[in-house]
Structure 1
Amino acid sequence: MGEFESGALGRVTVYSIKGCPHCVQAKATIRDLGVPVCDIDVGSHSEVRVKLKELTGRSTVPQIFFNGVHVGGNDDLQKLAPDELQRLVTLVKEEPVPADAPPLPEKNLPDDTAAETEKAAELSLLVRELILKLFSEHLSADGKSVDYKGMSANPDFQRYCDLAIQLQRVELLSLSREEKMAFFINIYNALVIHGYLRLGPPTNMWQRYRFFNYVSYLIGGEVFTLQDIENGVLRGNRKGVAQLLRPFSKTDPRLQVAIPDGEPLIHFALNCGAKGCPPIKTYTPEDIDNQLRTAAEAFLENDDGCTVDSGKKEVRLSQIFKWYKADFGGTDEKLLEWVLHHMGDSPKKTSLQGVVSAGKTKVSFLPYDWSSNSSH
């Protein structure tokens, strides 16, 4: 929980997570207003995350409150009219926080990245937490770009590389489905950043293909590329985009690690929505299915995940649903059913229900933004 200076009677509460560019941008904007910011990391406080969802009906971060007034996310903050913003600033400066203000954590959790352990789940969390710490330290002030060069010169990066070497000692075959999913999602997300640091972000289609088929870790005695982790392990050994063959052949020892049926929800854990990130950055085996549902809900809340045009009876979805259509049922009808089932209650969901029940829904796909967030 971030500290905040005194002087004003109230406070602005920002619920955020480490490494979320939209959270960084929102906090920078608020600090420029000269009001105290209380920053709460919902990644470390799951009880607050649950209360926040009940309070706002939203699954994305940041969520911003001026005293007890809910403004919404970073986009909502940036769009506020100047006189409305001034009214909220005056409210915080002149009035104390009301009794029904949004919740604060009961206590801060200790920063426990020191206990280097061989247990797979804990090791994957350590790896992911450490790369997130690096990521958040090298985000630009506006939250829009990452200084990968500065990150790779940070002493913590060497510590990260040492931790990644320990992955070769992990015993994968003893992991449960939940442990496997949490482990490989965390490792995939960390490996993408590690690949950016070593090779630089890919800038065209050919480089992206090479990047995902080349960047790899040695885990439990076997090499796993990004492609192997996503399509081989987490999608149950299905062909990926532009792949002619399944990642693992019948005699490949890595096939024993693959999750038998695959899990479509992994697609929302392996990326971050552009207007608001899913509120979970690291995944734990104990609560993996709920965490994945929350990530999907947050993704669908964003307009780059799903938009509904009731007039045209058209639903526009992220390219992810086109590329991996087989994972979501294989037909437009099943796809829409899946999306409806995984949306949080919202006006968008109500519109979608209306469009789907009217029949003859047109499904199209939104352009995908491949641009890199590198500041160099």
Structure 2
Amino acid sequence: MEESAKPKVKVLNEHGKAEKNAIKAVELSKKLQKTMLSIKGECIGEDRGIDYDKLKKSEAFKEYKKETLQLQVVSLDDLSEPERKAFFINLYNALTIHGLAEQESLPSSVLDIQQFWKTTAYNVGGQVYSLDDIEHGILRGNRSHPASTKPQFAEGDPRLKYVMKNLDPRIHFALVCGAVSCPAINVYTAENLDKALDQATKNFCKQEVSMFTEVDEVWLSKIFLWYRDDFGGNSVAVIEWIMPYLEKDIQDRAVVLLFKIKNVGQVDIKYNEYDWRLNKLGVTPLIL
């Protein structure tokens, strides 16, 4: 798409007025977390699938939509970096679910919605944040989208003051993009953030990382391909980054394969097919 033909952004929390008194970001974050936990309990199954029909009728979701109006007047200035990281991870996941629930008819895949991540947005503190803005601008420290060479926010953008100073690659295993291959949805707090991101990374690697010493193959999620630079920029760096999050037997295999990569070079790095089907209730992951 040419730069001049920018997609129209749909801001989901501007269909009503916020209360005049600005709410503190930490306080609002806790309210939204509490409501999202209720939604998770009611509408998200053990298979990680979301019952979108039930969600649309849920009182918790109606309450959540009311609460998002307060995002319009919230100030992010008093948030520490861990608080801001947790705030935006939760906001990304909630915005994804909200955006999908607002579709007139539920698609079979999030890819069926034209430019979903560019056009689905919230007004936060008077600034518009799309899903791409949150992921690439804020959480990835204003890095470029994998399909672009430009940083998400241009020089002088007022949102730059809120970007993460240090990239934490574990955020990739906390963000739910609406597909079956996405990580499980959780609710994060500044207090549990480090431990929760570690656990989310371990859970994802258990599901998506395989080491086959018998045939000298490493199988990874395509996240490690698309965002290779976030994990060190090459296959060796990616595997070294992954190793602490692997179970002991898989870690032992990784040591062997890493040695072969460095010294022999005859190890194939392969990537699992990404399952872009919508993460709705009853859709089970493909067996690869």
TM-score interval, smaller chain: 0.7 to 0.9
For residues 145 and 263 of structure 1, the distance between their equivalents in structure 2, rounded to whole angstroms, comes to 26
Corresponding residue for residue 19 of structure 2? none
How far off is 1:206 after superposition? 5.6
SS at match of 2:191: helix
Corresponding residue for residue 148 of structure 2? 243
SS at match of 2:219: strand
Which of 93, 97, 110 is the matching residue for 1:189? 93
SS at match of 1:364: strand
Whether the 8 Å contact between 2:111 and 2:276 is mirrored in structure 1 is: no
Provide the aligned C-alpha RMSD in A: 2.8
For residues 352 and 182 of structure 1, the distance between their equivalents in structure 2, rounded to whole angstroms, comes to 31
Whether the 8 Å contact between 2:43 and 2:50 is mirrored in structure 1 is: yes
SS at match of 2:141: coil
User: Residues 319-338 of structure 1 correspond to what in structure 2 (within 5 A)?
Assistant: 319-338=222-241
Structure 1 residue 306 corresponds to structure 2 residue 209 = yes
Q: Deviation per CA, 1:281-311, whole angstroms, max 9, x where unpaired?
A: 1111123222211211111112xx2011111
User: Residues 252-271 of structure 1 correspond to what in structure 2 (within 5 A)?
Assistant: 252-271=157-176
SS at match of 1:174: coil
Which of 251, 254, 257 is the matching residue for 1:352? 254
Which of 268, 279, 283 is the matching residue for 1:362? 268
Whether the 8 Å contact between 2:110 and 2:277 is mirrored in structure 1 is: no
SS at match of 1:173: coil
Corresponding residue for residue 372 of structure 1? 278
In structure 1, give the amino acid aligned to 2:42.
E
Unpaired segments ≥5 residues, structure 2 = 1-21, 283-288
How far off is 1:322 after superposition? 0.6
Structure 1 residue 286 corresponds to structure 2 residue 191 = yes
Whether the 8 Å contact between 2:180 and 2:278 is mirrored in structure 1 is: no
Instruction: State the number of aligned residues.
Output: 255
Report the structure number with the largest CA radius of gyration: 1
CA gap of 1:138–1:296, structure 2 versus 1, over 3 A, is closer
User: Residues 1-376 of structure 1 correspond to what in structure 2 (within 5 A)?
Assistant: 118-139=23-44, 143=47, 145-199=49-103, 202-203=107-108, 207-208=112-113, 210-271=115-176, 281-302=186-207, 305-343=208-246, 345-359=247-261, 360=265, 361-374=267-280
State the identity %: 34
For residues 202 and 233 of structure 1, the distance between their equivalents in structure 2, rounded to whole angstroms, comes to 28
For residues 355 and 313 of structure 1, the distance between their equivalents in structure 2, rounded to whole angstroms, comes to 7
Q: Deviation per CA, 1:176-206, whole angstroms, max 9, x where unpaired?
A: 1111101000111111110111125554676
Q: Deviation per CA, 1:140-173, whole angstroms, max 9, x where unpaired?
A: 6x85753313321223222111111111222113
For residues 91 and 133 of structure 2, the distance between their equivalents in structure 1, rounded to whole angstroms, comes to 12
Unpaired segments ≥5 residues, structure 1 = 1-116
Whether the 8 Å contact between 2:33 and 2:187 is mirrored in structure 1 is: yes
In structure 1, give the amino acid aligned to 2:212.
D
How far off is 1:274 after superposition? 6.3
SS at match of 1:237: coil
For residues 246 and 313 of structure 1, the distance between their equivalents in structure 2, rounded to whole angstroms, comes to 37
In structure 1, give the amino acid aligned to 2:277.
S
Q: Deviation per CA, 1:316-353, whole angstroms, max 9, x where unpaired?
A: 1001111111100111111111111333x421111111
Q: Deviation per CA, 1:100-149, whole angstroms, max 9, x where unpaired?
A: xxxxxxxxxxxxxxxxx933234224324323422432356x85753313
Q: Deviation per CA, 1:244-297, whole angstroms, max 9, x where unpaired?
A: 43211011100111112322110011139969966x811111232222112111
TM-score scaled by length of structure 1: 0.62
For residues 181 and 277 of structure 2, the distance between their equivalents in structure 1, rounded to whole angstroms, comes to 15
For residues 147 and 106 of structure 2, the distance between their equivalents in structure 1, rounded to whole angstroms, comes to 20
Whether the 8 Å contact between 1:121 and 1:182 is mirrored in structure 2 is: no
For residues 312 and 208 of structure 1, the distance between their equivalents in structure 2, rounded to whole angstroms, comes to 39
